[in-house]
Amino acid sequence: MADDTQTPSPEIAYDTFAAVDIRVGTIVEADIFPQARKPAYRLLIDFGETIGLKKSSAQITVHYAPQDLVGRQVMAVVNFPPRQIGPMRSEVLTLGAPDPAGAVVLIAPDHPVPNGARMF
């Protein structure tokens, strides 16, 4: 992995990229996660009938309020192993990119797509 966000990572084979399962989901619940070490929200994301509802911890408190997240579509990696974050088991990695100050901005489709749609 690159040392910073400006340096491109080394080239990889397409099959390596294809192994990462990135899907669209809709946030159905969002609340403050007080047990997280850094400010974060607990998210419940609907990835459609096949994948279902998944939990995620996301450090997105700078740009988003919990009530504004419900109904919003996001992108997430759904095939990483779950991670224990405090008392919560985070099942997916919600994707974002840093703004100039380093705060996370969510990655999302700019038009509605079906929950569970795979990124390619």
Question: Is the sign of the CA dihedral 106, 71, 41, 51 positive or negative?
Answer: negative
The pair phi, psi for residue 65, each rounded to 5°, is -105, 145
Number of domains in the chain: 1
Residue 118: inside a domain: no
- What's the pLDDT tens digit per position in 37-46? 999 999 999 9
pLDDT for residue 2 is more than 50: no
pLDDT for residue 109 is more than 80: yes
Residue 119 CB-density burial (10 A; 0-12 exposed, 13-18 middle, 19+ buried)? middle
- What's the pLDDT tens digit per position in 52-104? 999 999 999 999 999 999 999 999 999 999 999 999 999 999 999 999 999 99
Residue 75: inside a domain: yes
Tokens of 23: 């899907």
Domain that holds residue 86: 21-106
Q: What string of H, E and C letters represents the secondary structure of 23-58?
A: EEEEEEEEEECCCCCCCCEEEEEECHHHHCEEEEEE
* Between residues 5 and 80, the one the model is more confident about: 80
Residue 8: inside a domain: no
CATH number of the domain that residue 42 is part of: 2.40.50.140
Q: How far is it, in rounded angstroms, from Cα 27 to Cα 38?
A: 21
Residue 97: inside a domain: yes
pLDDT of residue 6: 78
